[in-house]
Amino acid sequence: MKIDGQHTRSIWVEDDGWSIGIFDQTLLPHRCVRLRLTCVDDAARAIRTMQVRGAPLIGAAAAYGLCLALKEDASDESLERARAKLLATRPTAVNLKWALDEMTAAVRNRPREQRIAAAYRRAAEICDEDVAINKAIGHHGLKLLENIAARKKAGERVNVLTHCNAGWLATVDWGTATAPIYLAHDRGLPVHVFVDETRPRNQGALTAWELGQHGVPHTYIADNTGGHLMQRGMVDICIVGTDRVTAQGDVCNKIGTYLKALAAGDNGVPFYVAAPSPSIDFAILDAFAIPIEERGAEEIATVSGLGEDGRIAAVRVAPEGSPAANYAFDVTPARLVKGLITERGVIEASAAALARAFPERAQAAQSAAAG
Ligand code: MRU
């Protein structure tokens, strides 16, 4: 996607051919700072502190983290140590485990001297696959937006509501929920996006920044606004991303997603989830078995932003001493999801539809469960 008109990805191998570049997303949208990761600890820290974030990008960063570990020491012990360290960074997005499994399979049975090259190759493929998946999601989701546009009077805009950041900053490129929006905009569809702020970490500000960079009309709204807009007929479709879809089609995503789905259901607004296959966990049947990340109370008690002095700082909003709870994700039951926009098409959020669309993944999970 574009920054100041220049096409760029969210993660890349630097010109030295081995260190890894990312944007420090904790400083966006106020400052656009590139960071260089040179060891597995850098990669683990970047994921844990959310310098990189968003399920697919977490997977890509972990893949390159494993490359950096193997570059220092290509032994089995180093591989296992790095895998455990990276896996422990964040609990909810299944893309992290998926990417580490893919990487481990690509290097484990190779002699040590081949492991580094094999790891960098597979990590690059994971990134390219992510881009291809998101483009496919974009094309399938575009049809939904075109159908809405076809029912409108000429020039009337198609209003999309999105939550969190499932944009190119959360992936390697394009984003999942935003891919159909970017394609629609590029094709001249009058698309407009209501962007949920997404407290406490305000990932909506990242989405607004991205959309602005690409020239997509959008409006930044407080998290509690969506229900009001939907009641007034101001939202045509909700599209959100996901950190993990269960084998039954239940959707785990950023906290607050469930409330948007409830409001959408009550108002007849179609609620879609952009779901790339690495975010589908065929091993999990019960959505309440998904580990929900609980983050520090200070994220709730304070708000971070750009001060008048040009510095990024946190200010306290909660009274000193009030306990705070910070659940980072919630579960939207499949019954509230109109469809999953996958790289293989828009499918029902159900066990049968998921198994039909991804038979190889569903069977592999069944075989693993059978032992
Ligand atoms: O805590 P974050 O910022 O990593 O959470 C991100 C989200 O919840 C996204 O909606 C999800 O990862 C999908 S990204 C394509």
- Ligand 1 atom nearest residue 177's Cα: 15
C-alpha 229 to ligand 1 mean position (Å): 23
Longest dimension (CA), the chain: 63
Is 286 a known active-site residue? no
Spatial contact of 334 and 350, defined as CB atoms under 8 Å apart: yes
C-alpha 169 to ligand 1 mean position (Å): 10
Residues 6+ apart with CB under 8 A from 363: none
Spatial contact of 223 and 197, defined as CB atoms under 8 Å apart: yes
- Ligand 1 atom nearest residue 276's Cα: 15
C-alpha 176 to ligand 1 mean position (Å): 10
Res. 2: pLDDT tops 90:
no
Ligand 1: which of 48, 195, 223, 243 to mutate, most ligand atoms within 8 Å of CB?
243
Euclidean distance between CA atoms 55 and 244, whole angstroms? 8
Ligand 1: which of 11, 53, 173 to mutate, most ligand atoms within 8 Å of CB?
53
Mean pLDDT of the 243-262 span: 98
- Ligand 1 atom nearest residue 328's Cα: 1
C-alpha 365 to ligand 1 mean position (Å): 24
What pLDDT score was predicted for residue 1?
A: 81
What percentage of the chain has pLDDT greater than the value 90? 97
Residues with CB under 6 A from ligand 1: 53-56, 93, 164, 166, 170-171, 176, 203, 241-243, 253-254, 328
Cα 8 versus chain centre, distance: 17
CA pseudo-torsion sign 214, 219, 222, 227: negative
What pLDDT score was predicted for residue 4?
A: 80
Q: Atom 5 in ligand 1: which residue has the minimum CA distance?
A: 54
C-alpha 57 to ligand 1 mean position (Å): 9
What pLDDT score was predicted for residue 144?
A: 98
pLDDT tens profile 303-361 = 999 999 999 999 999 999 999 999 999 999 999 999 999 999 999 999 999 999 999 99
pLDDT tens profile 10-22 = 999 999 999 999 9
Helix (H, G, I), strand (E, B) or coil at 120: helix
pLDDT tens profile 77-134 = 999 999 999 999 999 999 999 999 999 999 999 999 999 999 999 999 999 999 999 9
What pLDDT score was predicted for residue 308?
A: 94
Mean pLDDT of the 170-179 span: 98
Burial string for 322-360 (b: 16+ CB within 10 Å, else e) reads eeeebebbbbbbbebbbbbbbbeebbbbbbebbbebbee
What pLDDT score was predicted for residue 296?
A: 96
Residues 6+ apart with CB under 8 A from 123: 60, 63, 64, 66, 67, 103
Euclidean distance between CA atoms 336 and 153, whole angstroms? 28
What pLDDT score was predicted for residue 29?
A: 97
